């Protein structure tokens, strides 16, 4: 049920359409959530059915009529309760990391290559990252920097042959 709550949270600052919400989520990964439009539309409908948001149709300068949602008092209550729930660390769910971890059984040259590929992704993401004007953005930034440093350290260790992989014997 998180997506609905995240949407309520976004709507609680500004009324918005599904399209707007998707843009806001996609723009700032530091928010901790993103979703497809095809998830967002049904979620907004559920919120509407539940009385947590209200709908106003508006002609838009371009494209079909916008459906602008805004939070109702009931929605604000619901959001407040969700925000007050106890925290928990998320279940790990990262296919790239999973592959990177499995890779450790491979040969060092391949491992370095893939590590560098990953490093590239991190560097791009860091370049794209919004300035640290919120705690969440500062968090994202330092995490990316840390991961970048980690990737470099692991690569260096592999290249130095300090961390010998399965190929060690063959080379010996």
Cα separation of 23 and 4, whole Å?
Answer: 16
Which listed option, its own copies, DNA, none, makes contact with residue 135 (CB within 5 to 8 Å by class)? its own copies
Task: State the binding partner of 134 from DNA, its own copies, none, CB within 5 to 8 A by kind.
Answer: its own copies
Site for its own copies in 61-120 (CB under 8 A): 82-83, 85-105, 114-115, 117-118
Is residue 168 part of the contact set for its own copies (CB under 8 A)? no
Q: Please count the other Cβ atoms lying within 10 Å of the Cβ belonging to residue 144.
A: 20
Instruction: Pick what 129 binds: DNA, its own copies, none; C-beta below 5 to 8 Å, kind-dependent.
Output: none
Q: What are phi and psi of 111, to 5 degrees?
A: -60, -40
Residue 6's closest CA among 39, 49, 55?
39
**Structure token digits, residue 59:** 């002609």
Q: Based on C-alpha coordinates, what's the Rg of the chain?
A: 22
Can residue 160 be called a binding residue for its own copies (CB under 8 A)? no
Kindly state the smallest distance separating residue 101's Cβ from DNA, in Å. Answer: 16
- Number of Cβ within 10 Å of residue 70's Cβ equals 14
| Beta-bridge partner residues of 57 | 67
Q: By CB under 7 A, tell whether 82 contacts DNA.
A: no
Q: Which one of its own copies, DNA, none interacts with residue 62, CB within 5 to 8 A by kind? A: DNA
Which backbone phi and psi does 96 adopt, to 5 degrees?
-65, -45
For position 163 contacting DNA by CB under 7 A, the verdict is: no
Cα separation, 98 vs 75, whole angstroms? 38
- Considering only residues 99 to 138 of the shown chain, the ones binding DNA according to CB under 7 A are none
Query: How far out from the chain centre does Cα 56 lie?
Result: 29
Give the residues lining the site for its own copies (CB under 8 A): 2, 5-6, 9, 13, 29-35, 82-83, 85-105, 114-115, 117-118, 121-122, 125, 134-136, 138-139, 142-143, 146-147, 149-150, 154
Give the residues lining the site for DNA (CB under 7 A): 1-4, 17-20, 35-39, 41-43, 46, 59-68, 91, 93
């Amino acid at each position: 049920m998180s997506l609905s709550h995240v949407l309520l949270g976004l709507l609680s600052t500004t009324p918005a359409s599904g399209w707007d919400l998707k843009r806001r989520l996609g723009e700032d990964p530091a928010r901790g959530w993103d979703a497809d439009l095809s998830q967002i539309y049904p979620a907004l409908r559920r919120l509407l059915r539940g009385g947590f948001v209200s709908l106003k149709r508006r002609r838009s300068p371009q494209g079909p009529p916008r459906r602008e949602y805004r939070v109702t008092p009931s929605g604000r209550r619901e959001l407040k309760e969700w925000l007050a729930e106890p925290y928990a660390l998320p279940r790990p769910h990262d296919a790239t990391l999973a592959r990177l971890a499995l890779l450790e059984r491979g040969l060092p040259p391949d491992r370095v290559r893939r590590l560098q590929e990953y490093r590239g992704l991190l560097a791009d993401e860091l370049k794209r990252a919004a300035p640290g004007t919120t705690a969440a953005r500062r968090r994202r930034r330092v995490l990316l920097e840390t991961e970048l440093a980690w990737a470099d350290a692991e690569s260096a260790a592999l290249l130095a042959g300090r961390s010998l992989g399965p190929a060690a014997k063959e080379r010996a």
